[in-house]
Amino acid sequence: MGILVFDVGTSSMRGVLMNEQADILCQFQEKYHPDFHLSIYVTQNPEIWRSVLYDIAKNIQIWCEEHGHKVEMISLTAQRTSMIPVDRDGNALCDAVMWQDKRNIKTCMRLAGYDGDIIRRSGTMVNPVFAGSKMAWLHENEPEIYDRSYKLFVVADYLFYHMTGQMKTDRTYASRFHLMNLRTGQWDKQLLDIFDVEESKLCELIDPGELHGYTNEAFSKASGIPTGV
């Protein structure tokens, strides 16, 4: 079995093909970098991630064809809290607000008044790195983009969508949103009210390791990897 693992970091993405014994068969890496504006603005064009994903997948598929292997399973891990507002077709409405971005500091200072409830429900105090306060900042400061957004993705959601067409996120990523109740594993109404984020703008929750979906025609055409993986 060929297991393709994507590791999506802040400064590069790697694709590693392994067998069932976790022996590395081949790997490819491409570098990129966020854009730093002034002292607190940090962004990145999400198309860079999608383009690099396709390039690496294509190189893996070419290697497989040359060496008699095939990709039978795909897994992906990514930086957790960079936020990407998207439309119904998964197209980004603006550059990603990166996890290092601190435009939401004032929002966090206001939300800190609810830290008791937030800690009890989400497991941690308000932090500008987490995605929920970035979503709250977007709603307050860029309402047109917030209103136009169909979903508020993080990087893993964005890339999984462009492989499968599914809008899902696993609970490990959601635990960094401040919007999921750690005890129930579900989006929490009280937290959503505190952060003023609509549940409809969040992805369906699944467990880590749960089947996300299958590679679709668009991804297959871009990468050469067959549909149905």
The pLDDT tens digits of the residues spanning 70-109 come to 999 999 999 999 999 999 999 999 999 999 999 999 999 9
User: Is 94 within 8 Å of 53 (Cβ atoms)?
Assistant: no
What is the chain's percent helix, strand, coil content, to nearest 5?
40, 25, 35
Predicted TM-score (pTM) of this structure: 0.96
Query: Residue 39 burial (CB < 10 Å; 0-12/13-18/19+)?
Result: exposed
Report the 10 Å Cβ neighbour count for 60. 26
C-alpha to C-alpha distance for 61 and 58, rounded to whole angstroms: 5
C-alpha to C-alpha distance for 218 and 211, rounded to whole angstroms: 19
Q: Is the pLDDT of residue 43 over 90?
A: yes
Nearest to 32 by CA among 95, 89, 92: 95
pLDDT digits (tens, 9 = 90+) for 121-149: 999 999 999 999 999 999 999 999 999 99
> In the chain, what percentage of residues exceed pLDDT 90?
98
Tell me which of 35-39, 40-44, 201-205 is least confident: 35-39
Confidence of residue 38 (pLDDT cuts 50, 70, 90): confident
Q: Is the pLDDT of residue 111 over 90?
A: yes
Residues shown for the chain:
229
DSSP 3-state of 205: strand
Separation in Å, CA 83 to CA 62, 63, 66:
32, 33, 38
